[in-house]
Each structure stands twice: as C-alpha cells, then as structure tokens.
A and B are shown apart, each in its own frame.
Chain A
C-alpha cells in the first residue's frame, strides 16, 4: 500500500521551534512527528510513502534514509515548486500513487491521534466506493466544517457545512483519508483544495464515506495545541499501561502522564507531572516543579525552577527560581536567567532573557 503525507511549508505556526528544525523532525513525545506517522503506516502494511513538501530541508534526507532502512519502505520527497494546496500534491505524486491499483492513504502531518489505518482500509474496502475520510467528534462543531450524512445512511456523506450556525452534526474532517487511485482523475495539476473541490465533487457522486475515529484527535501545528496534544497522547499511553511512561511509584512523579528519556537526569526533591515529557540528555536540577510541559533534547532546568504549559527548546537553559508559564516557547539554545518570570513568551533561538516577560510577547 501507499501513503502521502501533506507536510507543506515552513511550519511557521510552530515557530520558534521550526526556525531551527523542520516541523516533521520536531519531537512530539520524544519521537519526531513524522516518525509517529511512518511507524503507524508501516505497521498497516504501507510500503511507499510520499512526503509532499514545498521546501527541501537537507537535514530531512538523513532521517528519511534511516527510516527507509528501519522499516523496509520507500520514502519519496515530492517537492512543489509552487504551493499546490491540499489536492495538487496528490496529482504531483501520481506516478507513485498509481504504482498499483490499491487505494492510498493521505494524511496531514500535523495530526496526532491513534492512527486507525488497518481498520480504515478494511472499512474502505467493505463499502467499495472511491473514498473514505476519517471524522472525529468535537464539542464545538461551529468552529469547523461539519460532515452531514445521507438520511438513513450510517457513513455515506451528503454534504459539508462550513462553520454551521445551527447544529447539523458534530463530526468533522480529521485530515486522514483513504482514496482509490481513480480519485486522481478528479484532480488537476494546479493549486487546488481537496476539502473545497475534490470532496464536494465526490459527495455529489455519492462516492465519499466517513469513518469514525476512536479516541483523541488533535492538530498539533501550533504551540498551544502541541501541549494539548501532548497531554492527550500521554493520557492514551497511560490508559494502555505503556512502559514508555515513568511509573507513578517514582517519588517525584505527581499525577502521572510523565515520560522521561532514560538518558535524562532528575535532581532531588522534584515534583513532576502531570503531563510532562522530558527528552534525551535533559538535566533537571533539585527542587524543580514541572507540569504540562515539554523539555526537548539537551535542555536544562536548574534548581527550584517552576515550569508549566511551556516548551523548552533544544539545548535551552532555565535558570534557578525562574518561572515559565502560559504557553511559553523557548527556541533552540535560549537562556532564561535566574529568578526571571516569563508569561507566554515566544523566545527566538540563541536569546538570553534577563528580565521578566510579564505579558505574552515575542522576543526577537
């Protein structure tokens, strides 16, 4: 089977992290974002993966070559010379996707969930129509495009309603699809949207079905959602009793959902959790309080610091008695001086912060 991952551009929404690291390589819960997807696809029997990008970071090649070897798959980078939207990239990669007649998966690279590829493929095969989109239940459908089914049919889609004012349903497009190769005939090689153009056409022909996603779903393309997605992912690991989580019997673990890379060092009298990810080679000092935060590889949190709702970038340092909160994001190699308070600061790489950032701000 084959798959296409829509990676897109520079990942500006996830800056300042993506100023020094391509978005697919940013670690989400100690695993690069793209690897979560490659792993799940390979597990579902996918052998050919296309990454649709509109820029080509050299650093990606090294990792992709590694993954090809690790999973015994082929990874192709398909570069758009101009942005082709969400459908154009499929046409551009047609030669790979038409390699055989089997259907192919399409997914947005920013989505985290428990990827249901096997079940999705089986369901798609069972209804025999051209396409299936994964849908997820949301609490506030008025913010999204809502999927409405044909009366009396459990999965066949009747129409999409963008940001409905009145309640018409609570299932939205989750950004994961399985499509027959015939769908490629519906797409022209130009900037075009799969949601706005391709799917409505398929709906008119009665060719599009929905598939309900079990469990959590999150677009982690921006820092606030990255943190929320981290909480959801850790919660799902906890439910499964995953050995990736630090056992709650550790004296410093508070409230569970704590993932610590084995190479990280944790000081004395810390209180860590809930919902904390600590990356490789991270050093956490004594008396540190961490909650709802991500410490990326090589970062350091010194004694008595207090960190909440924050992403600490690679090789960054948080000073003693510093306090970070409210979706603070430190880029690569940032230093927060001792005793400094940062409220919702986005700190660009290689900066040193010596004064409080009292209200949310971008520090260039």
Chain B
C-alpha cells in the first residue's frame, strides 16, 4: 500500500478532488515509433506486458483523490475503446474517458478545449501526464509538495548528463525552496541539467487562466520569442512564417505555458531520483521494458515469471504464451499473448509480441519481435546493448548512425540460421540472408 497523504481538507471536511489527464497524441504523431506504430497506436504498445498508458493509469490509481481520468488525443474514438473497457475493470475506482480533439490543438490547447469537462465536479488539482514517458510516476509525492507549498504548478524533474540536457526542457530552480525560477524548452546552450519529465500537477485555478492569457498573447502578438542568438535570426524568421499559419488555438504546454509560469507563479519542481526516460523511438521500448520490469520485480509483482535455471528475472510471460522448458529467457524479457518460444531458444533484453514464434536454438538479444513474426531455427536476431540510462537509441557503426535495437515489424520472417543485427525491418518482410545495420523497407 502506498502512504496515505495528509491531504489538506477543504472547509467542508472533504479532501479536494484531483483529476488526471493523459496526453496520448494522434496517429500523425509518434512517427519515430515506426515501424511499431504502423500497426498499433503508440500509447497502446505493450511494454512489460501492458500498454504504455496502462503504466500511467496504474500510477494514477494509487492517488486516492483521483476518480476521473481523461485521455486527450486525436486518434479515432474506436482506438481506445477496448483498452478503456479493460482498464475500467482493472481500476474500478477510476472513471476513464477518451476526449477526442478534431484538430491538433497543441498540448495546452487540447486541455483548454475540454476545460468544461475537466472542471466538472470542481477539481482542486489536475495532473497532466505525457503518455510517452516511462518513469515511476511519483504522483503522491508531487501532490504532497503542491499541498505543502500551496503551489499553482508542480513539475516533475530529473537530472540528466549535462551533454544530454539541451534535448529537453530545462529547469532552473531554487535548490532550497524548490521554486522554478526559469524554464526553457530545448535551449541552445547549457542552462541546467534538471529537466522536464513531462508530468505536471496544476491547480485548477491557475491552469486555465494561464492558458487563456497565453492564447490572448498569441492573438495579440504572434510568437516571436524563440530566436535564441543572432546566428539564428534568419532561421527564426522562417519559424515566424510557420507560426503565422498555425492557428492561435495551438498552444503548447512546454513553450507557451511553463516558461511564463516560471516568471510569476507559485511553480515548483519535484525532483525524482527514480528512473525516467522518454519513449520516443521504437528502440526506446527496450530500455523502457527493462525499467518497468525491474520496477515490477522490486515490487514483488505476482505477474512475473518465477526465476529458475532458465528464467533470469525479471521476465514477463503472458499466460497464453508457450515457452519450451529448455528455452532460456531473461533478464528483461516480455513475451506477449500466444507467442511460442521453441526448445533451446535464448531470449534476452527483448520484447516478443503477440503470436510471434521463435524456433528452436534461435537467439534473440536486444530486439523487438513484431506481432506474428517468425524467427527461424538457429537464427540470431540481435541489437547492441545501450545503457538504460542513455537517452539515445542510435549507435555509430562504420561511421553511420544506426538503430541499436533490432526491430521486426508485424509478420516478418527471419529464415533458419539467418543473422540480423541492428536492423529495422518494416512489416511483412522475409529475411533470407544475413543483414546488419540496415533499414529494410
């Protein structure tokens, strides 16, 4: 059980209502997750045995004051129907609804569009989670900080290596008060190694007025602020052109809201010391899978496979999968529904998706085996290990940038004894010869 929080009670004695919003994006987003997102919407891709957004929901369900969760995105309604049905059974204390944007409004624009729904039942706080992060979601801790500081916003932050920091939103904070003093999205030069994790908690009273004033700013004065140095002036004029075609409703949380809040609001950062990474590229599913499995293992999750001579934990095997007793699995392996793993096969640091088959004596390392794909006998499908803490999923081979993780899309076939290394293979391809460091169309 998680700790019960000493939540501030309202004058009427009822704890404040909290709501959560998960930003799921749409089909035109997440192209970096191809080839896997060609067949399944990225938020529903299975990592450690569950869809990516299930992990968000599981964390949300541990916050006692949350009873309503919204998924906001621009996928078709039908996309999340089955997931919401299953998740509602699994998390009976949560009401889960999908709110569809008919045009991409930006992360903040989408929230604003659905403000009436979100504000129903007068929530005091609203969590906003980007669906493409993998972390332990310390939501109760964020909520406690918000209560303590009477914050208008709390952002989840984490430290990254200095050289990686500029790829993220960077936070400068007062180390004593934890107040956010300055926020910049993907700065050109180093500002701070404390970065935005894409998980926010807003007070309802502050969030929508902030978005409203951002919209007003945009209408009065189209975005100009983003040129960052004189060398970049030329580029920034082009940026301006692009922006002028963008509707003023397109308001992004990171660029348009957070930096403004840092100036004058009660804006605080909760720094997590736990794991955190983005799930952007398809290859990042492998380290994310490892992190979620390790978390489940540390929490004594009952759904993981029992360790044995041939199971090196943590390993998740779906109850309908068939794994031969002589096959050796783990660590950090997820095997999906009805997948078949043959005698003497070896699977390590990999995801084997639904209905895939790995034949006898094959070896699968640092790879994702797509739905209904087949790996032949004595075949070797292999990626290159990268540290789970690295935020990069490409490596340099013979001077060329390649994917470190091998990914087979849906219904691919690797012939008997064939070796595939550091390749991305689009759906329905058959690999009959050895390949390395290639994208196979």
Contact = CB atoms under 8 A, between A and B. Distances in A.
A323 B363 contact: yes
A289 B361 contact: yes
B346 A289 contact: no
Label chain B's interface by main secondary structure. strand
A304 interface: yes
A339 B365 contact: yes
B417 interface: yes
A360 to B, nearest CB: 13
B344 A269 contact: yes
A304 B346 contact: yes
B318 interface: no
Interface in A289-305: 289, 303-304
Interface in A320-337: 320-321, 323
A341 interface: yes
A28 interface: no
B383 to A, nearest CB: 11
B344 A304 contact: yes
B281 interface: no
Contacts of A320: 328, 346
A289 B359 CA distance: 14
A306 B345 CA distance: 12
Contact of A341 (B345, B378, B380, B397): B380
B348 A289 contact: no
A208 B326 CA distance: 65
B343 interface: yes
Contacts of A289: 361, 377-378, 417
A286 B325 CA distance: 14
A328 B249 CA distance: 63
A341 B365 CA distance: 11
A287 interface: yes
A320 B382 CA distance: 15
Interface in B382-428: 382, 397, 417, 419, 421
A286 B327 CA distance: 12
A303 B419 CA distance: 18
Contacts of B360: 269, 287
Interface string A263-295: 000000101000000000000001101000000
Given A286-B344, A306-B380, A321 B363 contact: yes
Given A289-B417, A323-B419, A341 B382 contact: yes
Contact of A339 (B348, B417, B419, B421): B348
Given A289-B361, A306-B417, A323 B380 contact: yes
Interface residues of B, number: 19
Given A304-B344, A306-B380, A287 B363 contact: no
A188 interface: no
Nearest to B348: A339
B343 A287 contact: yes
Measured as residues with beta carbon below 8 angstroms from the partner, the interface class of chain A is: 10 to 19
B437 to A, nearest CB: 9
A278 to B, nearest CB: 18
B417 A303 contact: no
A358 interface: yes
Contacts of A304: 344-346, 361, 363, 378
A306 B378 CA distance: 7
A304 B358 CA distance: 14
B343 A269 contact: yes
A270 B275 CA distance: 43
B31 to A, nearest CB: 29
Nearest to B346: A321
A358 B346 contact: no
Nearest to A359: B398
Contact of B421 (A269, A303, A321, A358): A358
Nearest to A338: B346
A147 B136 CA distance: 78
B379 to A, nearest CB: 9
Interface string A330-358: 00000000010100000000000000001
A304 B342 CA distance: 12
A25 to B, nearest CB: 33
Contacts of B421: 341, 358
A321 B310 CA distance: 14
A200 B365 CA distance: 60
Interface in B60-93: none
A303 B344 contact: yes
B104 to A, nearest CB: 42
A303 B345 CA distance: 10
Nearest to B382: A341
A269 B378 CA distance: 12
A101 B55 CA distance: 93
Contacts of B361: 269, 287, 289, 304, 306, 321
Interface of A: 269, 271, 286-287, 289, 303-304, 306, 320-321, 323, 339, 341, 358
17 contacts: A269-B361, A271-B378, A286-B344, A287-B343, A287-B361, A289-B377, A304-B363, A306-B378, A306-B380, A321-B361, A321-B363, A321-B380, A323-B380, A339-B365, A341-B380, A341-B421, A358-B397
Interface of B: 328, 343-346, 348, 360-361, 363, 365, 377-378, 380, 382, 397, 417, 419, 421, 436
Given A304-B346, A304-B363, 18 more contacts: A269-B344, A269-B360, A269-B361, A287-B343, A287-B361, A289-B377, A289-B378, A289-B417, A303-B344, A306-B378, A306-B380, A306-B417, A320-B328, A320-B346, A321-B380, A339-B346, A339-B363, A358-B421
A-B CB proximity, top 4 nearest: A287-B344, A321-B363, A287-B361, A321-B346
